[in-house]
Amino acid sequence: MRNAYTINFRWNKMVWAVTSACIALCCIAFAASLCLIVGCGNLLGGIGLLLVALLLLVAVVVAEGYSPQCLEVGDDGIVILRRYASVEIPLDEIVSIKRISASVLPYRSRFGAGCGLFGFVGRCRSRRIGRFGLYATEFRNLFVIDTTGEKFVVSCTEPEYLLGRFAQHSEA
């Protein structure tokens, strides 16, 4: 991307708590399974708990890979950088960018949206926005990026920069 400026995502307290709890639970499950196998000789229980721990580990790795890492804002548009599959929003497809409050976001109409493990990511629907892709790590400084194809809701730690860079697309 030409002339790219990187804006990092910042985790809110809920993301920190959920992520820390999931990683701790994964570590505890691994340790407990080893104790059951080695210390108690309970091979069947230990293997069962080990499978649960491995399943948790896979969920953590997948969630981290698809979580938003940072926004890359450039002359060509916006890229939501993720470890596995970044989301590109070309400049010529952007119709509008406007700030929204967290009250607009739905709490029941989520389609596979993550609820705090490394962020809030997924497909959602809201009466006021319609269907959109959610890429946020906090509920402050939220933006709706409306494109010719779909809508995106992102959080941004530098809202003035984003609005200034795309002033011709920004709505107050």
pLDDT tens per residue, range 92-130: 999 999 998 887 776 544 545 566 788 888 888 888 888
Its domain, for residue 119, covers 1-172
Question: Six-digit token pair at 160?
Answer: 């003035």
Distance CA 13, CA 146 (A): 28
Tell whether pTM > 0.75: yes
Is the separation of the CB atoms in 75 and 66 below 8 Å? no
Distance CA 61, CA 159 (A): 29
Question: Six-digit token pair at 93?
Answer: 């497809």
Alpha helix stretches (DSSP H) within the chain: 13-34, 43-66, 159-165
What is the total residue count of the chain?
172
Is the separation of the CB atoms in 65 and 57 below 8 Å? no
What pLDDT, in 10s, does the model give residues 45-95? 677 778 888 888 888 898 889 999 999 998 889 999 999 999 999 999 999
Beta strands in 62-129 (DSSP E): 70-74, 77-81, 87-90, 94-100, 110-111, 120-126
Number of domains, the chain: 1
Give the per-residue pLDDT at 145: 93
